[in-house]
Amino acid sequence: MSITLRGLCAALILCATTSQAHAWWWFGKDKSYADTRYPIVLVGGIIAFDDIAGIDYFYGIADDMRDYGAEVYESNVSALQSNEYRGEELIVQIENYLAVTGAEKVNLIAHSQGSPTSRYVAAVRPDLIASVTSVHGENRGTAVADVIRGVVPEGSITEGLANSIGNAFGALWESLSGGPNPGDQSTRDVLATSTTEGLAAFNQRYPQAMPTSACGTSGQHTVNGVRYWSWGGDGVHTNLFDPFDSLLVTVTQFAFSNGEAHDGVLPVCGMYLGKPIRHNYNHNHADAIRQLFGLMGWETDPKTLYRNHANRLKNAGL
């Protein structure tokens, strides 16, 4: 065989092998791995959105779970509002998802303020909810909000000005994302509900699955037929090139006491809910949803965590 012919054969074999490898990467996925009984609804935190200009809040996460068989919806509740207000918006959206799918319930996976928002829904409408999973959840408030409250006292002129500026931003943000109530934002309410005092009051009203001690690591796994899980992280500066990390390192971390584990926004002690999965991933608050644009450190890609949790829900019959 001539050198030219042998080279051509080698090239054809390489192309065929590469094509088979790519096909196996795509078609070799277990398309039932994340195929849960009930649809999954993702719930965002402060300045929540489903997507803006094609950029998802849960960056790349929903599509990855769909690749493995999950039916996933990305909710869009108000960017700046109280947990109860956002919860009522979420109930309407869940009812719409159920009407479309014919399902009886949904599984909620929630980030940051999305956790108390989802907990409210599960408390007042447990008939709609199969499970709530808190991801870096704001379940006990944050010292960052406490610091801001100290600078912007309740009822002050400063608070009124900050509320007006924040509400204008929230209205614009909601308009860009197609949110439900762009003209009805409340920076004042979201600040009040994010302080440690505000979340303590919320937890008295809706204690379902919360650990009973101040830094308890587990609560009831099942309450009123709803299963509860949580995971979190204690990373802060995980990627040199991520602007969110620089913000966390230079500003928000000073709200926390020395030695306190946190993700740059929330204390790890406040992330626990129901049955704990793991709370020391090297993820900061933005890494948990793969922002900004998937920049993060060398820890497990959050897409894997969400995908594996969908499989956990599937195996639990949910």
Report the alpha-carbon distance of residue 125 to residue 306 in Å, rounded.
24
CB 73 within 8 A of CB 61: no
CB 243 within 8 A of CB 286: no
Of residues 189, 242, 263, 287, which has the active-site annotation?
A: 263
- 3-class state of residue 123 by DSSP: helix
Report the alpha-carbon distance of residue 205 to residue 150 in Å, rounded.
25
Report the alpha-carbon distance of residue 282 to residue 262 in Å, rounded.
10
Report the alpha-carbon distance of residue 248 to residue 123 in Å, rounded.
32
Run of H or E residues at 204: helix 196-205
Of residues 78, 112, 177, 194, which has the active-site annotation?
A: 112
Q: Cα torsion at 200, 204, 209, 210 (round to 10°)?
A: 30
285 counts as catalytic: yes
CB 138 within 8 A of CB 224: no
Of residues 111, 279, 285, 309, which has the active-site annotation?
A: 285
CB 60 within 8 A of CB 28: no
263 counts as catalytic: yes
Residue among 303, 300, 311 nearest 61 (CA): 303
Run of H or E residues at 174: helix 157-177
Cβ partners under 8 Å of residue 253, min gap 6: 236, 262, 264
- 3-class state of residue 209 by DSSP: coil
Report the alpha-carbon distance of residue 114 to residue 102 in Å, rounded.
24
221 counts as catalytic: no
Distance from chain centroid for Cα 150: 27
Q: What are the residue numbers of the active site?
A: 112, 263, 285
